[in-house]
Chain A
Amino acid sequence: MSAVSAVQLEKGSTSTVEAPVREKETQGEEELDVPWQVVVHNDPVNLMSYVTMVFQRVFGYPREKAELHMLEVHHKGRSILWSGVREPAEFYVQQLHGYLLLATLEKVV
């Protein structure tokens, strides 16, 4: 895109206006497609039963699946709870913070 474009005002006369300058490049389609993941990190204060309940509530997981993720957090320090597009991932992280879990949003490399 050129920085300056010609605009026809009236027949026979022209004027120029500066095209709007984008302060920041918008995200390209490829970048928008990059999946994000919701990661929960270990915290020795939060009760295991509490963390399991939160996973059931936020993600609608059955108890068994929620417990597996809780145990992964407990033993490995982190667990990926969900991955997908950014907006719902942000929403999940917000909900998890509302329950005071250590949760982060990470771009899948």
Chain B
Amino acid sequence: MEICRQDDALQISDLDPFLAELLRQIPQSTSPDGEPAAEARLFSRPSAEKEICAEWKNYVEPELRRLFRTATETVAADLTQLNGNEKSLRNRTLRIPVEHAEAWLNTLNQARLVIAAKYNFSEEELNDHDRSPIGSRRDLGLFQVNFYGFLQEFILRELGGQVGSAPD
């Protein structure tokens, strides 16, 4: 796999089918459905004050859900470039427009947090980047968290010069 910036896009090329499949799983990995720990992590309490939490639930949380959903939809649309069967995914290239980079950062973070909450990874596990081979669903989850983190690091590096700008 190669990853680089090409003009106004971030380009991931020479994708093998396994990594392409992990990329395709990003949107569905953001869903905390049926995982209270993941739901609680995505929508954590803003305060110990009950009044603030009640207002937050009514007014802020729906906005956050909309923000996360919009980001995930942007990523899902980019990932349609990887549609196809396993054979056709060989050496496929994914182009991410730079203006979608924010949505990718957010969605990758959602996915990493949900997977980590689902498997309750310890800090030690999360810092063990050389763990191999993948022998269980849990190991695969840890690999996903690390792979998505690697993509985040790349996007952050490419956005480095734009960090000082005001938030959206």
Contact = CB atoms under 8 A, between A and B. Distances in A.
B116 interface: yes
A93 B44 CA distance: 11
A105 B47 contact: yes
B126 A50 contact: no
A97 B47 contact: no
A69 B113 CA distance: 21
Contacts of B112: 45
Contacts of B163: 53, 56-57, 63
Interface in A51-107: 53, 56-58, 60, 63, 90, 93-95, 97-100, 102-107
B109 A50 contact: yes
B49 interface: yes
A89 B15 CA distance: 44
Interface residues of A, number: 27
Secondary structure class of chain B's binding surface, majority of residues: helix
Contacts of B165: 57
Interface residues of B, number: 36
B113 A45 contact: yes
Interface string B123-159: 1001100000000000000000100010011001101
B156 A100 contact: no
Contact of B49 (A47, A94, A107): A107
B116 to A, nearest CB: 5
7 contacts: A44-B123, A49-B152, A50-B156, A93-B46, A100-B106, A104-B45, A107-B49
Given A97-B46, A100-B106, 9 more contacts: A47-B153, A57-B163, A57-B165, A57-B166, A95-B167, A97-B64, A104-B47, A105-B47, A105-B49
